[in-house]
Amino acid sequence: MKYKRLGSSGMKVSGLGLGTNSFGKRADENASARILHYAIDSGITFVDTANIYAQTESERIIGNALVGRRQQVVLATKAGLVKGQGPNDRGSSRYHLMLELEQSLKRLQTDYVDLYQIHTFDPETPLEETLRALDDMVRSGKVRYIGASNYAAWELMKAIGVSEKWGLNRFVSTQTSYSLADRTPEQELVACCQDQGVGIIPYFPLAGGILTGKYTSSAVVPAGSRAEKDDHIKRFINETTLPLVEHVRSFASDLGCSPSALSLAWLMHQQAVSTVIVGATSVEQLEANCRSVELNLDSSTLQALDAISDHFKYGKPLAVYRLPK
């Protein structure tokens, strides 16, 4: 496994991280525990979850599976998206964040999280309130570092400015949809992060499974695939993405690797990227994706991948999660 600093912080994270959105949903507790233990045994240290994943089941499962192994991972969770029906069951107010942190700590069976992330920008809460609450969490020892998620470049830059103005802990990372099929962060966010020392943590690194190479048509999808049951994923399979998939499949064949491994490796070679979170519903799936860490892509391969995906810098991102108005 390879390790990089998380942004400009002193903490190092594995180049490949484990996303746990499937825990308690598409992977039951036993399967999830096996996946997590395999990840740790393979050198993966970064484990990412959120208070809303599988209606809190993801955090609970991770807490059970990490008993006796907590110190072996950099544990990250999030809060801020809609958690319930109440007026304070969302957003990044001090009220909501303090409550959610305590509940996450109980489910995770730990007294601290290594990275606490705001799941999305909250236009109704002053950034100073959010950042002071996060600063208090760090000072209390319940949080080690803080990060953002689904922030636009200007939102992230404004947050950094507020932190610097008031001497508060600042975001060391941000999560965003980023892949060969979604290079929209390169319009503004990548440059912002490089300038400010913020590490990028891509989610949807395989574009919802499109870059695995298993989809060859928008009309017929493989039985048991995510696209078969999820129209949100199926919409990614179209006349724009399918030619890209074919190119990636061809490059991967020449290199003797899978399209998934190649797509993940391309992200790991991006300077602003600290760790790439990839989900799994089986140990075998994670084992296959771990091969991406071994791929050292030369400049000509990187340039070729850049060229075939260049137009994906423009247009709309594949995913952005925001608070409903």
Q: What is the amino acid identity at position 57?
A: E
Q: What is the amino acid identity at position 97?
A: L
**CA distances, 219 to each of 50, 249, 319 (Å):** 33, 19, 22
- Reported as type and span, the H/E element at residue 94 is helix 94-108
Residue 53 is among the residues annotated as catalytic for this protein: yes
**CA distances, 113 to each of 71, 103, 105, 141, 238 (Å):** 11, 12, 7, 9, 39
**Cβ atoms of residues 94 and 132 within 8 Å:** yes
Distance between CA atoms of 248 and 295, rounded to whole angstroms? 14
The partner residues of 14 in beta bridges, in order of sequence, read: 3
Angle (deg, nearest 10), helices 153-166 and 189-196: 20
**Cβ atoms of residues 34 and 283 within 8 Å:** yes
The partner residues of 173 in beta bridges, in order of sequence, read: 147, 199
Which is nearest to 57 in space by CA: 108, 102, 97, 98? 108
| Sequence-separated (6 or more) residues with CB below 8 Å from residue 197 | 7, 8, 172
Angle (deg, nearest 10), helices 57-65 and 29-41: 50
Distance between CA atoms of 52 and 32, rounded to whole angstroms? 17
Distance between CA atoms of 308 and 51, rounded to whole angstroms? 37
Selected catalytic residue, list 53, 116, 151, 178: 53
> Known catalytic residues?
53
